[in-house]
Structure 1
Amino acid sequence: MDSQIHKIHQQLANKEITCTSLVQEKLDLLKQNTNNTVNSLLDTLALSLAAKVDAKIKKGETIGLLEGIPFGIKDVYMLQGTTATASSNLLKNYKSAYTATAIQKLLDAGAIPLAKENCDSFGHGSSSENTIFGAVKNAINPDLVGGGSSGGSAVNVAKDYTVFSIGGDTGGSVRQPAGYNHVYGLKPTYGRISRFGLMAYASSTDCVGPIAKSVEDIRIVLNVMSGKDIKDQTTYASAEINEDSILTSTEIKTVGYFKNFIESEAINPEIKTEFLATIEKIKAKGIVVKELDFFKSDILVSTYYTLAMAETASNLSRLDGSNYGNRIEDKSLKESYAITRSENFSEETKRRIVGGNQVLSQGFSDEIYLKGLALRDSISESFEKDFKEVDVILSPVTPNTPPKIGNSLKDPHAMYLSDAYTVGFSLGQLPTLTIPQGTETGLQITAAKNNDELVLKFANFLKDTI
């Protein structure tokens, strides 16, 4: 399998390269990069960890598979002693007091963090332009957006600045930038990986997700980060996914796709043509393909944003400059709260807070918020029915190709609609993987809850099929 992790591990173990030289090479690339992917370099920490790996190899000790492998971290995760800005003015000087569980597991496995990566502020966006550090530029065409909100993470992987990166996916924030930059990006089953230490956007759909250049590297990183965590009550114990188990996909007999996604007037004709050509190649392999009915895209988007805005309004209410953040003093405590939040939050973040507070307010909550909760239940029930008929669901990642930098900021509504094909799977809390094949912005493979292994199996099948 085309795994960078395995390749680098062998090079380190065979003393073909040193960990220090590898890390320094990546740090130099990150310093020189013009794609605006880095919020802060962790060079001192990275080089000290690399020296320890080299010392271990020199003594003839065995190193683990992830030991010495350089990776990036979306700047919404806690890493003790480093800044955690969320690409926001409010937290631009905030230092983490602890380390996120998922990141700690990678550190325990010996992986080496290189950078905190640029992203949409607090995860609010689909283009990685909503950031105090400037827009992330696409890895293939720098005139286009990098995708959001984990744009810096996806671009760093695509440009080989990191071997893998850890993004965060709430409504498509790993999958969409992975598609825009032609790499793999996984949103695992909700609860498979602990969210402790990830800045909360919408707690009911937030997921920790790896971005890498191969299915095998996704599998390795997923296994390390997975597991129950007493600090996150939504987590559960999950079985390890073996390397050999994802090389066969004989149990996948039936594939479904949503007819209304493909027949929508909003889809780019080229993406539609490429998707249908992929379906024909799958049929030619003897797999049954079924058209499925699903909720309309506008219902999915409005349901997701109703709930996500409500949750982010609640989650960000703690950020008023009192306990942490860039506090601005004014004539009274109330005025200090107001000006601190008004001046430090981005326009998009304020838009989501205002929208969230409105749908939660008296007179609106019954009509809007509770209806959104009921629709989410209906969406989950629809998925349960679908997965009695098919093994996996295939879909485009986005209805359109990446927009030019600046366009999304002019039209927030169009930005929200770019999530039309990702948010439904988030609401269903399902495992979904973007693969860099099938259309200009890739394909999504989705399976039933806790069937993350099946998603990886089908990804390997498609790698050799389309």
Structure 2
Amino acid sequence: MESQIKALHQQLVTKQITCTALVKEKLELLKKNTHNTVNSLLDTLALDLAAKVDAKITKGEEIGLLEGIPFGIKDVYMLQGTFATASSNLLKNYKSAYTATAIQKLLDAGAIPLVKENCDSFGHGSSSENTIFGAVKNAVNTDLVAGGSSGGSAVNVALDYTVFSIGGDTGGSIRQPAGYNNIYGLKPTYGRISRYGLMAYASSTDCVGPLAKSIEDIRIVLNVMSGKDAKDQTSITSSEITEDAILKNTVKTVGYFKNFIENDAIAPKVKADFLQSIEKVKLKGIKVKELDFFPSDILVSTYYTLAMAETASNLSRLDGTNYGNRIEDKNLKETYAVTRSENFSEETKRRIVGGNQVLSQGFSDEIYLKGLAIRDQIAANFTKDFEEVDIILSPVTPMSPPKIGDSLKDPLAMYLSDAYTVGFSLGQLPTLTVPQGTQTGLQITAAKNNEELILKFANFLKDTI
């Protein structure tokens, strides 16, 4: 699909449509939708901004490429004056006091926010079922999960309720739902986009990223959001990626992890489709190399050890004292306990308990520090791999999307669905889901700060597979 952003921009500047009409159309779709993608509509704000865009066009003033383009925001981002619930009972009435840097950059470019989107509570889940707003339904088959935790964002894009959406990816939370709903989803290099104003899940792997229906729209949005931010000391400076730069493929060597494919956990169809994709790449004259990597069970256990530890620490501040849905009890200690017990989801409580166990005296040396050491080994493994290959290709998930309800019955199966995404998160690498190659797409990964190469290869795959 060609760029929706560019197509709509052209229609706006040539007055084929008005921005107000465009926004009203999208809002109406969101109001009527039965996929549980909406936590709150930003209709008053959106229509006010649309009227200003229309006024500029009427006066003959030039508008920017993103000006007047409607988008969605996963409900873990701050947008001043709007609800920021994290799909949780604890924050169901909380309103943002400020705006996240990434969202502010989009507002400064003129993009129009329509909706705060449903997701797994605090990002805890791989199915968008752990939410007070009801399970998000897959865009292709409503009996199936939408993926998580950015499920509402992915479905809104897939069904054209938003032109693009901003998700959050900690261990695969953009890439997996993008794959489940047959769209593009990018987890950039850690730090390329500021995390300021994103509710923290696991601070060492949390990433801001876009979901869209085209590579070009991913590029446009990525450029706008990227950059060093004084409010986020982990943010980095990055170069703009031009449209011309991604049109010609320069990838000569592709690698894939053979233990991902020669694995009992992978569905036969996913395996067969992936290997067929590899053969098509070879036919184009690109060298393909098998790579060795850590077993998927080690990746999953390492990721969840560190992520649970970090989320236990990050969520310790949520006790109803400063903000949130406070439940009074007989004393302060019991108030804290009942507030957290009644307001956190079962999955969030599971992760907090696991994280506190990992960090507790007598366990931290044996478990947490070992997890940190394995993460260092994973990063070293990637450094070696990218000396041998330009990019790494992998399935997004080992299986097709489960039915709604199945993941809630089996949390371990839900964790294992992240087997092919968490390794790249631990390595803090840029990774893009593309809707080709297998039922849940393919994942393209490059060395840090090499999003340009990923987008080049994505364009190549679009015409190859």
Give the TM-score of the pair, scaled to structure 2.
1.00
Amino acid at match of 1:174: I
| Match runs of 1:351-366 below 5 Å | 351-366=350-365
Deviations 1:107-132 (A, max 9, x none): 00000000000000000000000000
SS at match of 2:44: helix
The residue aligned with 1:384 is: 383
1:183 aligns with 2:187: no
SS in 2 for 1:400: coil
In structure 2, what residue type is equivalent to 1:344? N
Which residue does 2:405 correspond to in 1?
406
Structure-1 separation of matches of 2:237 and 2:291: 32
Counterparts of 1:440 and 1:397, CA distance in 2? 9
Residue 249 of structure 1: CA displacement?
A: 1.0
Q: Tell me, in whole angstroms, the C-alpha distance in 1 between the residues paired with 2:27 and 2:247.
A: 34
Indicate yes or no: 2:415 matched with 1:393.
no
Structure 1 CA distance for aligned equivalents of residues 182 and 227 of structure 2: 28
Question: Partner residue of 1:280?
Answer: 279
Distance in 2 (CA, whole Å) between partners of 1:169 and 1:247 is 26
- 2:306 equivalent in structure 1: 307
Query: What amino acid is aligned across from residue 418 of structure 1 in structure 2?
Result: S
Matched, 1:121 2:121: yes
The 5 A counterparts of 1:223-234 are 223-234=223-234
Q: Deviations over 1:348-370 (max 9, x none)?
A: 00000000000000000000000
| Mapping 1:57-206, distance limit 5 Å | 57-206=57-206
1:149 Cα shift? 0.1
- 1:205-252 CA distance string (max 9 Å, x none): 0000100000000000000000000000001110000000000112x1
Describe the SS at the equivalent of 1:177. helix
Q: Counterpart of 1:292 in structure 2: which amino acid? A: L
SS of equivalent to 1:242? coil
In the alignment, structure 1 residue 33 sits paired with structure 2 residue 33: yes
Distance in 1 between the 2:73 and 2:348 partners?
A: 21
What residue number does 1:329 align with? Answer: 328
1:415 aligned partner: 414
Structure 1 residue 413: Cα displacement: 0.2
SS in 2 for 1:137: coil
Are residue 441 (structure 1) and residue 444 (structure 2) matched? no
**Structure 1 counterpart of 2:460, one-letter code:** F
> What is the rounded CA distance, in whole Å, between the counterparts of 1:22 and 1:366 in structure 2?
56
**C-alpha displacement at 1:100, in angstroms?**
0.1
Q: Aligned equivalents of 1:443 and 1:313: distance in 2? A: 32
Cα distance in 2, alignment partners of residues 275 and 27 from structure 1: 38
CA offsets per residue over residues 273-325 of structure 1, 9 Å max, x none?
Answer: 00000000000000000000000000000000000000000000000000000
Once residues 3 and 244 of structure 1 are traced to their aligned partners in structure 2, the CA distance between those partners, rounded to angstroms, is 14
AA aligned opposite 2:181: N
Return the alpha-carbon distance in structure 1 between the equivalents of residues 40 and 371 of structure 2: 38
**Cα separation, 2, equivalents of 1:453 and 1:90:** 40
Partner secondary structure for residue 255 of structure 1 = strand
DSSP 3-state at the match of 2:119: coil
3-state DSSP class of the match of 1:394?
strand
What is the distance in 1 between the residues matched to 2:307 and 2:454? 25
Count of residue pairs the alignment pairs up: 465
Give the structure 2 partner of residue 16 of structure 1: 16
Structure 1 letter corresponding to 2:171:
G
CA positional deviation for 1:404: 0.2
> 1:411 deviation in Å?
0.1
CA separation in 1, counterparts of 2:207 and 2:453?
Answer: 18
Residue 263 of structure 2 aligns with an amino acid whose one-letter code is S
Structure 1 gaps of 5+ residues are: none
Q: For residue 463 of structure 2, what is the aligned residue in structure 1?
A: 464
Other-structure match for 1:236:
236
Q: Distance in 2 between matches of 1:188 and 1:236?
A: 11
Q: CA deviation at 1:9?
A: 0.2
Which amino acid in structure 1 is aligned with residue 239 of structure 2?
A
Q: Secondary structure at the match of 2:447?
A: coil
Letter of the structure 2 residue corresponding to residue 301 of structure 1: V
Counterpart of 1:221 in 2: which secondary structure? Answer: helix
Aligned to 2:222: 222
Following the alignment from structure 1 to structure 2, what is the Cα–Cα distance between the partners of residues 144 and 278? 25
**How far apart, CA to CA, are the structure 2 residues paired with 1:262 and 1:214?**
27
Task: Give the counterpart letter for 2:288 in structure 1.
Answer: V
2:257 matched residue in structure 1: 258
**2 CA distance for matches of 1:301 and 1:341?**
27
Partner of 1:51: 51
Corresponding residue SS for 2:55: helix
Query: What is the distance in 2 between the residues matched to 1:15 and 1:269?
Result: 51
Post-superposition CA distance 1:36-68 (Å, at most 9, x none): 000000000000000000000000000000000
Over 4 Å off, 4+ runs: none
Letter in structure 2 aligned against 1:104: Q
Q: Deviations over 1:410-440 (max 9, x none)?
A: 0000000000000000000000000000000
Partner deviation per Cα, 1:46-92 (whole Å, 9 max, x = no partner): 00000000000000000000000000000000000000000000000
* Partner Cα separation in structure 1 for residue 88 and residue 36 of structure 2: 15
**3-state DSSP of counterpart to 1:31:** helix
Please give the alpha-carbon distance, in whole angstroms, between the structure 1 residues aligned to 2:109 and 2:159.
24
Q: Name the aligned partner's letter for residue 356 of structure 2.
A: N
**SS of equivalent residue, structure 1 residue 464:** helix
CA distance in 1, matches of 2:330, 2:453: 58
Q: Secondary structure at the match of 2:367?
A: helix
Structure 2 residue matching 1:261: 3-state secondary structure: helix
